[in-house]
Amino acid sequence: MLSGPVILNNTPLVALWLLNRLDVLQSIYMTVYIPQAMLDEFLAVHQRQRQQSLAHSPWIQVASLHSAEYALAYPGLDQGEAEVRALAVERAARLVIMDERKGRKFALRMGIPVTGTLGVLLAAKSKGLIDNVVSSIAVLLENGFYLQPALVDRTLSAAGEPSERDGTVE
């Protein structure tokens, strides 16, 4: 198992911000790092509110790349995802938190474990930080997040919670 830092991408950060649960990152991982391009993406919308949230979340730290051009080695990824990948390699990350399929494949090819928003929510439930996963998923869906139905079902099953297909989630 790798012992380096945890690197966070934009979509899980936005999801946890929307849920008002940035605190679970500290409880689960202690400190997470984001590259500058990812910070810029995060602050592109609701800048004032998001800056305030980050100011109250010192466990989310901006980390600079030692070689900024290293991010150019990942064609096909947006700048934020490329910097997440580059930072993960430079810092020998133990985990990347990312939802985007293409970026996840890049990280896995480099041998870096990956989880996503739903994985963080499962970890939060297993540590008693949240009561259930289904209500968080409902909030994300209501706010326009796309979550693959099969992934939602697997996540709810892993959490021991009923899925929408069971007819019990509205």
Strands 6-8 and 95-97: parallel
How high does pLDDT run on average in the chain?
Answer: 87
Calpha distance 160→163 (Å, rounded): 9
Q: Is 37 left (phi over 0), alpha (psi -120 to 50) or beta?
A: alpha
- Taking only the tens place, the pLDDT of each residue in 132-154 is 999 999 999 999 999 999 999 99
DSSP secondary structure code for residue 75 in this structure = T
Higher pLDDT, 78 or 97: 97
Map out the domains of the chain with their CATH numbers: 6-118 (3.40.50.1010)
pTM: 0.88
The per-residue pLDDT for range 10-58, each reduced to its tens digit, is: 999 999 999 999 999 999 999 999 999 899 999 999 999 999 999 999 9
- Report the length, in residues, of the chain: 170
